[in-house]
Copies of this chain bind each other. A is one copy, B any other.
Amino acid sequence: MARITAGVGSSHVPLLGVAHDQGKERDDYFGPIFAGYDWTREWEKQEKPDVVILVYNDHASAFDMRFIPTFAIGCGERYKPADEGWGPRKVPDVIGHPDLAWHIAQSLILDEFDMTIINEMDVDHGLTVPLSMMFGACEAWPTTVIPLAVNVVTYPPPSGNRCWALGEAIARAVESFPEDLNVQIWGTGGMSHQLQGARAGLINPEWDNRFLDLLEAEDDAVRHIPHIEYLRETGSEGIEMVMWLIMRGALGHKVKTLHRHYHVPCSNTAIGHIVLEPNT
């Protein structure tokens, strides 16, 4: 039986990909950021997940304005890094897990989630930066990946409540997959950031850390934070944090925190990172 063994939350700032790709991980600016991922890189070497369900958002890379899926699940064999305007990142192709992905997709639709199934797409920094953060440089990613793309660009994104419920449904789907697989679920994006207008550069460490506290909590109060609160408190792009709720919803009521990290700044952004495991 497949099982979700851990949940990982992480920012996915494109500049982290640049820093990694250009060998700047340990310079004065990036050192304190990457130091917070050292623990996780060692832990992932022990954990050796077979599959990562990687919740992220496409940043106008695979999807343009013609099609805007709320929840899209990648059921394909492999995905290439997208050219976001600088040429594609020189990182390995992302290898899918179509068996589990289709199983989850079918289960979610039966469970009344209105998924869009994707068989071919390129994946942008939202997906490849977390892979670099968690695994460092590699010839091939040490896990297969099921991309789960969430619309957080065109309003409204899905509610926090809906995201949490999707996580719960993903957990049920994974549990009903017969093969013995070690599955992790990652929620990415956030934390505080606003990339536009006069208020750009907004950072709210108190709110971000309270959000991390709520993720660690036994109750599910965090699912009820309205969109407007993310926007007011953490900047217009802080809304990406709703994606962490999919990860958290998949872990069940009680969780144990294995690791937590917070740093300001990275580019326009606060960096947040947490590793949780289900505690049943």
State the A residues within 8 Å of B (CB).
65-72, 106, 109-110, 112-121, 154-159, 161-162, 165
B117 touching A114, Cβ below 8 Å: no
A173 to chain B, nearest CB (A): 12
Contacts of A67 in B (CB 8 A): 67, 69, 72, 116-119
A-B CB proximity, top 6 nearest: A114-B114, A68-B117, A70-B114, A69-B116, A66-B120, A112-B162
B113 touching A159, Cβ below 8 Å: no
Contacts of A165 in B (CB 8 A): 112
B116 touching A116, Cβ below 8 Å: yes
Contacts of A156 in B (CB 8 A): 106, 109-110
Nearest chain B residue, comparing its CB with the CB of A106: B156
A55 to chain B, nearest CB (A): 14
Contacts of A109 in B (CB 8 A): 70, 156-158
List 6 A-B residue pairs with CB atoms under 8 Å apart, sorted by A's residue number: A68-B116, A70-B115, A71-B114, A110-B159, A112-B165, A114-B162
Contacts of A159 in B (CB 8 A): 110, 112
A164 to chain B, nearest CB (A): 11
Contacts of A110 in B (CB 8 A): 156, 159
Nearest chain B residue, comparing its CB with the CB of A107: B156
Measured between alpha carbons, how far is A121 from B118 in the docked complex, in Å?
A: 17
Q: A66-B118, A71-B114, A106-B155 are in contact. List 11 more A-B contacts (CB 8 A).
A: A66-B119, A66-B121, A67-B67, A68-B117, A70-B115, A70-B116, A109-B157, A110-B159, A112-B158, A112-B161, A116-B116
Measured between alpha carbons, how far is A165 from B112 in the docked complex, in Å?
A: 10
A275 to chain B, nearest CB (A): 28
Nearest chain B residue, comparing its CB with the CB of A118: B67
A107 to chain B, nearest CB (A): 9
